[in-house]
A and B are shown apart, each in its own frame.
Chain A
């Protein structure tokens, strides 16, 4: 079945460590997105990519980095510069910009 796969489901980060969250889609979508969700909050956009080898910062990009080397993959790295990384991270994709987004099941990141 087509869909978006995020891994791992749960991730723990030590102080000063970079961690990478995986997002893979087999929907042949051009656009991919990363969101952060804090308890009781809505979704905030971290980064998005409309096409391979191109990506743009969202509203809260500081402390995060991404790459888009393949159409199917859009990994997110949470760097040590992100001082409050504990959150639920959601990846999404869409056929194009301004098309409904389809979401993965999320990765919950916690600090050790």
Chain B
């Protein structure tokens, strides 16, 4: 099955730093979703994007739906230790395609 290209695969950052990750695809999507998964738990929806160019925030998180409809990025500002986890992007048309995940580790 098709999967999105998500980068970086993993990253270590210092507490307080800003984080940026992105997803790219060769296909056009109508919807972009961003999820966070804590170890041993299911993914939790962070942000949903439905229109090209849309920029949406949820607290310290900001995500954008790329204008070409083939990419999306997620920014986390002023990271804290509880931001650790795996972040997945999901592109949707008639079905959803999951990215491979970005593993974030925050150093206090």
Contact = CB atoms under 8 A, between A and B. Distances in A.
Interface string B26-56: 0000110101000011111100100000000
Interface size class of chain A, counting residues whose CB lies under 8 Å from the partner chain? 20 to 34
Contacts, number: 51
Contact of A90 (B30, B33, B42, B100): B42
B3 interface: yes
B1 A44 contact: yes
B41 A106 contact: yes
Interface string B5-27: 00000000000000000000000
Nearest to A43: B98
Contacts of B101: 41-42
A88 B17 CA distance: 31
B40 A42 contact: no
Nearest to B30: A98
Given A42-B88, A100-B33, A105 B42 contact: yes
Contacts of A45: 1, 95
A104 interface: yes
B43 A90 contact: yes
A106 B40 contact: yes
Contacts of B44: 103
Contacts of B99: 42
A13 to B, nearest CB: 19
A44 B3 CA distance: 9
Given A98-B31, A102-B45, A106-B40, A59 B1 contact: yes
A101 interface: yes
Given A42-B99, A98-B95, A100-B48, 17 more contacts: A4-B42, A6-B42, A41-B100, A41-B101, A42-B100, A43-B98, A44-B98, A45-B1, A59-B1, A90-B43, A97-B94, A98-B31, A98-B93, A98-B94, A100-B45, A103-B42, A108-B40
Interface of B: 1, 3, 30-31, 33, 35, 40-45, 48, 88, 92-96, 98-101
